[in-house]
C-alpha cells in the first residue's frame, strides 16, 4: 500500500496543473495586467522604459512563480536554512560591495538586475522560522533556550538592513519575522519585553537616523511644515487620490500624475496614480484582489497537512497584508514615507521577485497539501 503523501509527492505535470489554486493564480495575473496599464500611464502614455521593463519582469517572475509552485514543499523545508544563510550573506556583501543611490547602499549589481537582498529576506526569514518551529514541540516554544535562535535570526538581518540605511524594509522584515514567532505560540509577554527593550533604545536609535529620515517623520506629524520640500510628495499624493472621486478621471487623464506633480509615481506611489484615474471604485477593486490573494493563502494554510506549510502560509499571508496596508497608509499620509512598494503593482525587480517567490512557495503548499514534511 502507498501512503497518500507518497503518491502526491510524485504528481505528474497534469496533476500539478489541476492542483493549482485557480483563484489565487487568476488574481495575481489580473493584478499584473492592471499594473501594465498603470505603468504605461506613469510613462505618460508611451511604451517607454518603465513599462517595457515592468512587463518583462512580470513575465519572468510570473514564470518563476509557476516553476516554484511545482517544487515539493519538502524542497523548501530542506533548503530554508541555506536560503536564509545565502540571503544574509548577500546582505553582508551589500555592506562592502553594494551600489549606492540617493545616499543608500542597498543593491548588488548582477548585470541583468540590480538585486536588493533585503527584499528576499522578507521571504527567507519566514521560511527559516517556519522550519525552526516545525522542528520543536509546542511545549518548548516558550523556553528561553528555544527563543534565542529565532530572536538572533530576526535581529541579524534587521541590523544589516538598518545600516544601509533602509528603515522601511527593516521594519517590514522585522514584522514578518515577529508574525511567525507569534503564530508559533510564543506568549504575548515575550513581545511585551521586546517592546520595553525597543522603547528604551529608541532615543539612541533616533540619534543615528539620517537627516532625510528625521525629516520624513516630522513631515508625517505635520505635512504643512514644509509643503514645497519634504511635505510636497505626500501633499500631492493626497490631492491626486482625492481628485479621483468615485469613478476617477479616466485612463491617462490624471492631472497630478500626468503633469508630473507627483514624484516616484511608478514605485511607491503607484496606487496614487491608479486612484486618481479610476477613483474610489477602482481602488476598491484593487483592494478586493489583494483580499482574495490573502484569503486564498490562508485557505491553503488551512488545508495543508504539515505544520511547516501552515506556519509559512499564515505568516506570509499576514506579512503580505502588512506590505499592502503600509504602502496604502503611506500614500494616504497615515504613515511616514518609508519606501514600501505595493506588491506586484510597483516598479522594482527585487520586490516582484521576492513576492512571486513567496506566492510560489504558498502555491507549492497547495499542490502538495497532503505530503508530510520531514
Give me the number of domains the chain comprises.
1
Residue 10 domain-assigned (yes or no): yes
Of the pLDDT bands very low, low, confident and very high (cuts 50, 70, 90), residue 215 is low
Distances (CA, A) of 121 to 47, 85, 90, 210, 352: 32, 10, 10, 23, 13
> Which pLDDT tens digit goes with each residue over 23-69?
999 999 999 999 999 999 988 888 888 999 999 999 999 999 999 99
Of the pLDDT bands very low, low, confident and very high (cuts 50, 70, 90), residue 3 is very low
Q: By CB neighbour count within 10 A (0-12 exposed, 13-18 middle, 19+ buried), where does 95 fall?
A: exposed
What is the three-class DSSP state of 9? Answer: coil
Residue 207 is predicted with a pLDDT of 64
Name the more confident of 18 and 285. Answer: 285
* CA nearest neighbour of 275 among 310, 247, 234: 247
What is the three-class DSSP state of 90? Answer: helix
List residues bridging with 101 in a β-sheet: 104
Could you tell me if 344 and 31 are in contact, meaning their C-beta atoms sit under 8 angstroms apart? yes
For residue 266, the surrounding DSSP H or E stretch is none
Residue 224 is predicted with a pLDDT of 60
Q: Within a 10 A sphere around the Cβ of 288, how many other Cβ atoms?
A: 11
Could you tell me if 262 and 236 are in contact, meaning their C-beta atoms sit under 8 angstroms apart? yes
Residue 340 has pLDDT above 50, yes or no: yes
Residue 352 domain-assigned (yes or no): yes
Which structural domain, as residue segments, surrounds residue 230?
A: 4-367
C-alpha span between 123 and 313 (Å, rounded):
11
Q: Within a 10 A sphere around the Cβ of 6, how many other Cβ atoms?
A: 12
Name the more confident of 60 and 266. Answer: 60
Residue 372 domain-assigned (yes or no): no
Q: Within a 10 A sphere around the Cβ of 200, how many other Cβ atoms?
A: 9
Comparing 90-94, 360-364, 370-374, the range with the smallest average pLDDT is: 370-374
Residue 39 domain-assigned (yes or no): yes
Respond yes or no on whether the N-terminal peptide bond of residue 205 is cis (omega within 30° of 0).
no
Residue 227 domain-assigned (yes or no): yes
Q: Both ends of the chain: CA-CA distance in Å?
A: 20
Could you tell me if 164 and 106 are in contact, meaning their C-beta atoms sit under 8 angstroms apart? yes
Residue 334 is predicted with a pLDDT of 84
Residue 374 domain-assigned (yes or no): no
Residue 31 is predicted with a pLDDT of 97
C-alpha span between 92 and 117 (Å, rounded):
10
Q: By CB neighbour count within 10 A (0-12 exposed, 13-18 middle, 19+ buried), where does 84 fall?
A: buried
Residue 222 is predicted with a pLDDT of 59
Residue 353 domain-assigned (yes or no): yes
Sheet of strand 99-101, all strands in order from the earlier edge strand to the far edge = 99-101, 104-109, 114-115
Residue 77 is predicted with a pLDDT of 96
Could you tell me if 316 and 294 are in contact, meaning their C-beta atoms sit under 8 angstroms apart? no
> Which pLDDT tens digit goes with each residue over 138-174?
888 888 889 999 999 999 999 899 888 788 898 899 9
Q: By CB neighbour count within 10 A (0-12 exposed, 13-18 middle, 19+ buried), where does 105 fall?
A: middle
C-alpha span between 61 and 59 (Å, rounded):
6
Given the C-alpha cell 503580505, which residue does it identify? 320
Residue 348 has pLDDT above 70, yes or no: yes
Cβ-based neighbours of 331, under 8 Å, separated by 6 or more = 234, 237, 241, 268, 269, 271, 272
Could you tell me if 20 and 69 are in contact, meaning their C-beta atoms sit under 8 angstroms apart? yes
Q: Within a 10 A sphere around the Cβ of 283, how many other Cβ atoms?
A: 18
Residue 190 domain-assigned (yes or no): yes
Alpha carbon 101 to chain centroid, angstroms: 21
Amino acid at each position: 500500500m502507498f501512503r497518500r503523501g507518497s503518491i502526491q509527492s510524485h504528481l505528474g505535470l497534469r496533476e500539478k496543473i489541476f492542483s493549482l489554486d485557480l483563484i489565487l493564480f487568476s488574481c495575481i495575473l489580473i493584478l499584473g495586467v492592471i499594473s501594465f496599464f498603470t505603468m504605461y500611464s506613469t510613462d505618460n502614455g508611451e511604451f517607454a522604459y518603465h513599462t517595457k521593463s515592468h512587463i518583462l519582469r512580470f513575465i519572468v517572475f510570473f514564470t518563476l512563480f509557476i516553476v516554484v509552485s511545482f517544487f515539493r514543499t519538502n524542497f523548501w523545508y530542506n533548503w530554508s536554512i541555506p536560503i536564509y544563510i545565502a540571503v544574509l550573506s548577500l546582505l553582508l556583501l551589500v555592506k562592502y560591495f553594494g551600489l549606492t543611490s540617493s545616499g543608500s547602499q542597498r543593491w548588488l549589481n548582477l548585470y541583468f538586475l540590480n538585486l536588493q537582498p533585503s527584499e528576499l529576506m522578507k521571504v527567507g526569514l519566514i521560511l527559516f522560522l517556519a522550519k525552526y518551529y516545525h522542528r520543536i514541540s509546542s511545549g518548548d516554544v516558550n523556553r528561553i533556550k528555544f527563543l534565542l535562535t529565532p530572536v538572533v535570526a530576526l535581529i541579524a538581518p534587521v541590523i544589516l538592513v538598518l545600516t544601509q540605511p533602509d528603515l522601511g524594509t527593516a521594519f517590514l522584515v522585522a514584522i514578518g519575522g515577529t508574525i511567525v514567532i507569534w503564530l508559533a505560540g510564543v506568549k504575548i509577554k515575550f513581545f511585551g519585553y521586546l517592546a520595553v527593550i525597543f522603547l528604551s533604545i529608541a532615543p539612541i536609535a533616533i540619534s543615528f537616523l539620517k537627516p532625510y529620515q528625521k525629516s520624513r517623520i516630522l513631515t508625517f506629524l505635520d505635512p504643512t511644515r514644509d509643503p514645497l520640500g519634504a511635505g510636497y510628495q505626500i501633499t500631492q499624493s493626497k490631492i491626486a487620490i482625492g481628485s479621483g472621486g468615485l469613478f476617477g478621471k479616466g485612463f491617462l487623464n490624471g492631472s497630478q500624475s500626468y503633469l508630473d506633480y507627483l514624484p516616484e509615481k511608478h514605485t511607491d506611489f503607484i496606487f496614487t496614480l491608479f486612484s486618481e484615474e479610476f477613483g474610489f471604485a477602482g481602488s476598491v477593486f484593487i483592494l478586493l484582489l489583494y483580499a482574495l490573494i490573502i484569503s486564498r493563502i490562508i485557505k491553503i494554510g488551512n488545508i495543508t497537512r504539515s505544520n511547516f506549510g501552515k506556519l509559512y502560509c499564515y505568516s506570509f499571508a499576514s506579512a503580505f497584508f502588512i506590505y499592502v496596508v503600509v504602502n496604502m497608509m503611506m500614500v494616504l499620509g497615515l504613515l511616514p514615507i518609508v519606501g514600501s512598494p505595493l506588491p506586484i503593482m510597483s516598479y522594482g525587480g527585487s520586490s516582484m521577485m521576492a513576492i512571486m517567490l513567496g506566492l510560489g512557495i504558498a502555491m507549492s503548499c497547495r499542490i502538495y497539501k497532503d505530503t508530510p514534511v520531514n
